[in-house]
Amino acid sequence: MKNRMSPTTRYITAISAALLIALLFFPMWKIELSAPQYPEGLELLIYPHKLGGDVEVVNGLNHYIGMRTLHTRDFVEFIVLPWLFIILSFFGLLAILINRKWFFLLWAGFFFLFAIVAMVDFYRWEYNYGHNLDPAAPIQVPGMSYQPPLIGFKQLLNFGAYSIPATGGWLFITAGLLIAWGVVKEILHMRSSASKIIAATSLLFILSLSSCNVKPQPVVLNTDICDHCKMTISDLKFGGELLTKKGKVYKFDDSKCLQAFLTEGTVKRDNLHSVYLLDHGGNGTLIESSKAILLKSSDFRSPMGGDLAAFKSREEAENAQKTFKGTITNWHAIDQ
Residues 16-62: pLDDT tens digits?
999 999 999 999 989 888 887 777 788 889 999 999 988 888 888 77
Per-residue pLDDT at 319 exceeds 80: yes
Which of these, 107, 47, 100, lies nearest to 78 by C-alpha position?
47
pLDDT (0 to 100) of residue 229: 92
Asked if 239 contacts 206 with a C-beta cutoff of 8 angstroms, the reply is no
SS3 of residue 251 by DSSP? strand
Q: Region 287-307: what's the mean pLDDT? A: 90
Helix axis angle, 193-209 relative to 101-131, nearest 10°? 30
Backbone dihedral region for residue 37 (phi beyond 0: left; psi -120 to 50: alpha; all else: beta): alpha
Percentages helix, strand, coil for the chain, rounded to the nearest 5?
45, 20, 35
pLDDT (0 to 100) of residue 195: 52
Count Cβ atoms below 10 Å from residue 124 Cβ, excluding itself. Answer: 10
Q: Region 322-326: what's the mean pLDDT? A: 89
Q: For residue range 96-114, what is the model confidence (pLDDT) as tens digits?
A: 999 888 898 899 999 999 9
- Residues near 156 by Cβ (< 8 Å), separated by ≥ 6? 146, 148
Give every strand in the sheet of 159-165, ordered side by side.
51-53, 38-46, 29-35, 159-165, 152-156
Distance, CA of 93 to chain centre:
33
pLDDT (0 to 100) of residue 199: 55
Asked if 206 contacts 178 with a C-beta cutoff of 8 angstroms, the reply is no
User: Among 93-102, 122-131, 309-318, where is mean pLDDT lowest?
Assistant: 122-131
Global pTM value: 0.58
Per-residue pLDDT at 137 exceeds 90: no
User: Whole-number mean pLDDT of the chain?
Assistant: 85
Strand 29-35 to 38-46 pairing = antiparallel
Strand 152-156 to 29-35 pairing = unpaired
Strand 38-46 to 51-53 pairing = antiparallel
- Residue 24's identity, in one-letter code, is L
Confidence class for position 206, pLDDT limits 50, 70, 90: low
Which of these, 243, 313, 250, lies nearest to 280 by C-alpha position?
313
At residue 287, φ and ψ (nearest 5 deg) are -115, 130
pLDDT (0 to 100) of residue 186: 81
Q: Region 254-271: what's the mean pLDDT? A: 88
Helices and strands in the chain: count of H runs, count of E runs? 9, 12
pLDDT (0 to 100) of residue 202: 62
- Residue 204's identity, in one-letter code, is L
Residue 234 or residue 205, greater confidence: 234
pLDDT (0 to 100) of residue 268: 85
| d(C-alpha 184, C-alpha 192), whole Å | 13
Q: For residue range 140-196, what is the model confidence (pLDDT) as tens digits?
A: 777 677 778 878 888 877 778 888 899 999 999 999 999 999 888 888 776 554 555
Per-residue pLDDT at 257 exceeds 50: yes
pLDDT (0 to 100) of residue 201: 60
| d(C-alpha 257, C-alpha 334), whole Å | 13
